[in-house]
């Protein structure tokens, strides 16, 4: 049972376009929602994160939009560049006494054409 | 500044063989974890540890053992490898507690079981 569902599986965008990746969750025990970026042959690295009491967070060209009532959050990459081509994972952190374990979505392979 | 170091980077095993994937971190992180990455499945938590001598199961623990005798090291053992364990394995660590959800990942170990 996938606790965090991510879509699409793959995405192709032209340079300068907007990339949008969506995630949905069911469990209200999650208390923190990070996005990780992974380049081929490397481990994932934290890109941007948001807490559920905030509806939007922006860092440079990357924005997380968070809809608590719908239990959905999304990553927007503005002015997408070929260097953004990577696999993106959304994640959710278990709150309470769960030691802050992270559960990940299925991943989205983003390709930005020049 | 090594961060999280995994060895080996590549390994081929025959069904039934045993092996240990090594993970070491030099950031004095209390929390360490192992994930496996499979296409379309994202990153799934195998085992985690919140400190020396303390380990617990994640989402997919069957077929894997762990121990944590020091803060720095968190090896993952496959006692009798099966083809279903063909995957890319990532070790990740972070500070203890809920101060941050940022996991620092190693570069991965690609395992093939024939």
Is some CB atom of chain B closer than 8 A to the CB atom of A34?
yes
**Rounded CA gap, B68 and A53, in Å?**
36
Is some CB atom of chain A closer than 8 A to the CB atom of B35?
yes
Q: How much is the pLDDT for B100?
A: 61
Q: How much is the pLDDT for A1?
A: 66
Q: Which of B44, B48, B105 sits opposite A43 (nearest CB)?
A: B105
Domains recognised in chain A with CATH numbers: 4-113 (2.60.40.10)
Q: Do B45 and A100 touch (CB under 8 A)?
A: no
Low-confidence spans in chain B with pLDDT less than 70: 1, 97-101
Nearest CA in chain B to A40: B107
Q: How much is the pLDDT for B101?
A: 63
Q: For residue A6, which residues of chain B lie inside 8 Å, CB to CB?
A: 42
Give A29-50 pLDDT, tens digit per residue: 888 999 999 999 999 999 999 9
Going by the DSSP 8-state scheme, the letter that residue A82 receives in this structure is G
**Rounded CA gap, B45 and B76, in Å?**
12
Count of Cβ atoms closer than 10 Å to residue A98 Cβ = 14
Q: How much is the pLDDT for A66?
A: 96
Q: How much is the pLDDT for B98?
A: 58
**Rounded CA gap, A93 and A29, in Å?**
8
Interval A19-24 mean pLDDT: 98
Output b/e per residue, A10-19; b: 16+ Cβ within 10 A: ebebeeeeeb
Give A63-77 pLDDT, tens digit per residue: 999 999 999 999 999
Q: For residue A105, which residues of chain B lie inside 8 Å, CB to CB?
A: 42
Q: Give the percent of chain A with pLDDT over 70.
A: 97
């Amino acid at each position: 049972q996938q606790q965090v569902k991510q879509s699409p599986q793959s995405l192709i965008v032209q340079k300068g376009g907007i990339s949008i990746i969506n995630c949905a969750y069911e469990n209200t025990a999650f208390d923190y929602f990070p996005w990780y970026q992974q380049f081929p042959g490397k481990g994932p690295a934290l890109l941007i994160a948001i807490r559920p009491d905030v509806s939007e967070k922006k860092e440079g060209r990357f924005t997380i939009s968070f809809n608590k009532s719908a239990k959905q959050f999304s990553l927007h990459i503005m002015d997408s560049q070929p260097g953004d081509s990577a696999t993106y994972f959304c994640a959710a952190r278990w709150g309470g006494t769960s030691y802050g374990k992270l559960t990940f979505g299925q991943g989205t392979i983003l390709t930005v054409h020049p | 500044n090594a961060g999280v170091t995994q060895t080996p980077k590549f390994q081929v095993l025959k069904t039934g063989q045993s092996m240990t994937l090594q993970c070491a971190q030099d950031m004095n992180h209390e929390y360490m974890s192992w994930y496996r990455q499979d296409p379309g499945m994202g990153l799934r938590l195998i085992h985690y540890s919140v400190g020396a001598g303390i380990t617990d199961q994640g989402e997919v623990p069957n077929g894997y053992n762990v121990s944590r005798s020091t803060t720095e090291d968190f090896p993952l053992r496959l006692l009798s490898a099966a083809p279903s364990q063909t995957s890319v394995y990532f070790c990740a660590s972070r500070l203890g507690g809920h101060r941050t959800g940022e996991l620092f990942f190693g570069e991965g170990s690609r395992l093939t079981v024939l």
